[in-house]
C-alpha cells in the first residue's frame, strides 16, 4: 500500500477560515538575535509554519496570516524576541469546529 501523501502546512491551513488582518500582530523585536540563534525553534515548533527562513537561511520571515494564535512561538523563542499581540478583534483564525 502506498504511503498517503504528506500534506504540508499550507494545504492544511487552506481548509481553515482565516480573516486576514491588515497588519501583522507579530514582530521580532531584535532580528540580530535570530542570526545568533542556531536551532531557530520558531521555525519547527509553530504548528502553522508562521516562521520561515529567508533564502540565506538566516533571518526569519513572518507569515502572520498562517498564525493559529496558540502562542507556542512565544514560549520556544530562546531570546524572547517574538512580540506577539492579539490580532485585531474579529480577525485572524476563526474556528468553525474547534
Partner 1 sequence: MNDFDAIVVGAGPSGVSAALTMARGGMNVVLLERGPYPGSKNLMGGVLYTDVLSRLIPDFIEKGAPLERHVAEKRWSLLSSDSASTAAFKNTKWDKPPFNHSHTVLRARFDKWFAAQAEGEGVELVCGVVVDGMIKEEGRVVGVRTRTGEGTDAAEGELRAPVVVLCEGANALLAENEGLKPPASSDDCAIGVKEVIKLGEDTIAERFNLEGRQGVAWEFIGAATGGLPGAGFIYTNHDTISVGIVAYLGEMKEDGSTPYDLLDTFKAHPAVRPLVRGGEVLEYGAHLIPESGVGRLPMRVKDGLMSVGDAAGLISSGPRHEGSNYAMASGVMAGETALEAHESGDYTVSGLSGYNKAVEGSFIWKGIERYSQWPGFLKQNPQLFSGWPEALAEMTASTLEVDNYATGEAEDKLMELFNRRIGVLPFAMTALQLRNSLKIFGYGKTDKLLEYISRNW
Write out the residues near partner 1 by the rule CB under 8 A.
3-4, 6-9, 12-13, 15-16, 19, 21-23, 39, 41, 44-45, 47-49, 68-72, 74-76, 80, 84-98
Give the shortest CB-21-to-partner 1 separation in angstroms. 6
Give the shortest CB-78-to-partner 1 separation in angstroms. 9
Between 7 and 58, name the residue whose CB sits nearer to partner 1. 7
**What letters, b where the CB count within 10 A reaches 16 and e where it falls short, cover 32-60?**
ebbeebeebbbbeebebbbbbeeeeeeeb
Between 59 and 76, name the residue whose CB sits nearer to partner 1. 76
User: Judging by DSSP bridges, how do beta strands 92-93 and 18-19 pair with one another?
Assistant: antiparallel
The distance of Cα 89 from the centroid of its chain, to the nearest Å, equals 19
Amino acid at each position: 500500500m502506498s504511503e498517503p501523501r504528506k500534506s504540508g502546512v499550507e494545504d492544511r491551513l487552506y481548509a481553515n477560515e482565516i480573516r486576514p488582518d491588515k497588519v501583522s500582530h507579530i514582530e521580532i523585536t531584535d532580528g540580530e538575535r535570530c542570526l545568533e540563534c542556531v536551532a531557530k525553534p520558531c521555525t519547527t515548533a509553530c504548528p502553522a509554519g508562521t516562521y520561515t527562513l529567508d533564502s540565506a537561511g538566516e533571518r526569519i520571515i513572518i507569515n502572520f496570516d498562517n498564525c493559529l494564535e496558540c502562542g507556542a512561538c512565544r514560549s520556544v523563542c530562546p531570546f524572547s524576541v517574538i512580540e506577539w499581540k492579539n490580532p485585531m478583534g474579529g480577525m485572524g483564525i476563526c474556528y468553525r469546529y474547534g
